[in-house]
Amino acid sequence: MPVYSYQGVQENGSRITGLVDADSPRTARQKLKTQGILPLTLTPREDTPAALRTGGGRRAKSKDIALFTRQMAILIGSGIPVVEALGAILDQGLPDPMGSMIAAVREDVKEGQPLNRALSIHPRIFSDLYVNMIRAGEESGTLDVMLDRLSDFLEKQVETRRKVVGSLFYPLILMMVGILMVIFLLAVVMPRITSIFKGLNATLPLPTILLMGMSDWIRHEAVWILLVLVIASFFMARIIARNRQKIDLLLLRIPRVGTLIAQDQVARFGRTLSVLLKGGVPLQRALEIGTSVLTNQALRSAAVQAREDVRNGESLGSALKRSPYVPKMAIHMIQTGERSGKLEELLLKMAEGYESEVSQTVSTLTSIIEPVMILFIGAIVLFMVLAVLLPIFEMSQAVE
């Protein structure tokens, strides 16, 4: 069935763009009108599936993928066939790339491909974890259950990311505003104030001399400063990329910081393994996918080695125990789960516990960073004020 891209106006007057599938443009317009949308333009999108199969286009937002998964879980759980469920979600008028992807997946499923294979054509949107869970659900006849677990997993990821970003947002904004304020004072305000001191023969206080020097340096060398910062950032990024594993190993050795990183990585690894194992994915395949979600190269290397040890017949807990950076409590819970046959449940509890600790630690750190940054910016402003007022006080005393 053809897919059309449209621009329209909703009943409340707001504009909307999206995709709709219909046999003809007339049917597409009628379908949009029944949804309360007055179509302004309607363009066939026959190239959408082919374009997405090449891997091009923008990446979909995590919250959009989580919403799509939750909607699919509800529809499939209600007994609606996969093709109809995809069509119902497509009719909501989703923007690209999700709208184009759903249209392409629906066409592939209509041609006889299983859902997991149709999704695997879009690796920029659906990860190996996602595709393997869908495959396990289709093979076991529990697709609705797998989609429900996947939506829980993705929604938890979105919520965790939102909390971390929300905690760091205010300190970052405060830092940026503080830096811009200081640069503005040094480049624009202070030169006009301190210019009256340059014609004086009196000896100026050290803070005033330093402030005038910094102000002149920023005003006359601003272009070179920016150029040096850009070049330094470029080379720093290359150095970090080439020495990623050494830097990650160094970060793990820093007190408190290393613990926080290890807890975050182990929580991510444990939740992924739990979801996959509950979905019936074999342990070896689950370990391969679980290893790919680790961003710390030192811990990823430890996970890769553990995967090889498990392949050779060793237990997962014993294999991970060799790494000094995996928390002891995590190893203990994994070993307990292996002995009791409840590895999936204990992995999930372990992940939830560490996620809670990471969230609390981040909140504590941000609550400490905020006053420290305010004091730091205040100290800089105080230095500027003193640098301006000290010569004035000295001149007033000389006049008396």
Average pLDDT in the 6-27 region? 76
Q: What is the domain count for the chain?
A: 2
Which tops the pLDDT comparison, 132 or 44? 132
Q: Is residue 114 part of a domain?
A: yes
pLDDT bracket for residue 400 (50, 70, 90): low
Dist. CA 390–CA 385, nearest whole Å = 8
Q: Is residue 21 part of a domain?
A: yes
Q: Is residue 145 part of a domain?
A: no
- Does 208 score more than 90 pLDDT? no
- Does 56 score more than 50 pLDDT? no
Q: Is residue 72 part of a domain?
A: yes
pLDDT bracket for residue 199 (50, 70, 90): low
Point out the domain boundary residue: 322, 341, 356: 356
Q: Is residue 241 part of a domain?
A: no
Point out the domain boundary residue: 109, 126, 143: 126
Query: Can you give the pLDDT at residue 338?
Result: 92
Instruction: Pick the range with the lowest mean pLDDT from 166-180, 196-210, 316-330.
Output: 196-210
Q: Is residue 235 part of a domain?
A: no
Q: Is residue 120 part of a domain?
A: yes
Point out the domain boundary residue: 94, 126, 158: 126
Return mean pLDDT, the chain.
82
Domain with 39 in it: 3-126
Instruction: Pick the range with the lowest mean pLDDT from 52-61, 252-261, 275-284.
Output: 52-61
pLDDT per residue over 115-159, tens digit each? 999 998 888 888 888 888 888 888 878 888 889 888 888 888 888
Instruction: Quickly tell me which residue has 């205010």 as its tokens.
Output: 170
Q: Is residue 344 part of a domain?
A: yes
Query: Can you give the pLDDT at residue 53?
Result: 47
- Does 50 score more than 50 pLDDT? no
CATH number of the domain where residue 334 is located: 1.20.81.30
Average pLDDT in the 171-181 region? 82
Answer yes or no: are the C-beta atoms of 351 and 275 closer than 8 Å: no
Tally of CB atoms within 10 A around 92: 16
pLDDT bracket for residue 48 (50, 70, 90): very low
pLDDT per residue over 74-114, tens digit each? 999 999 999 999 988 887 766 677 878 888 888 889 888 89
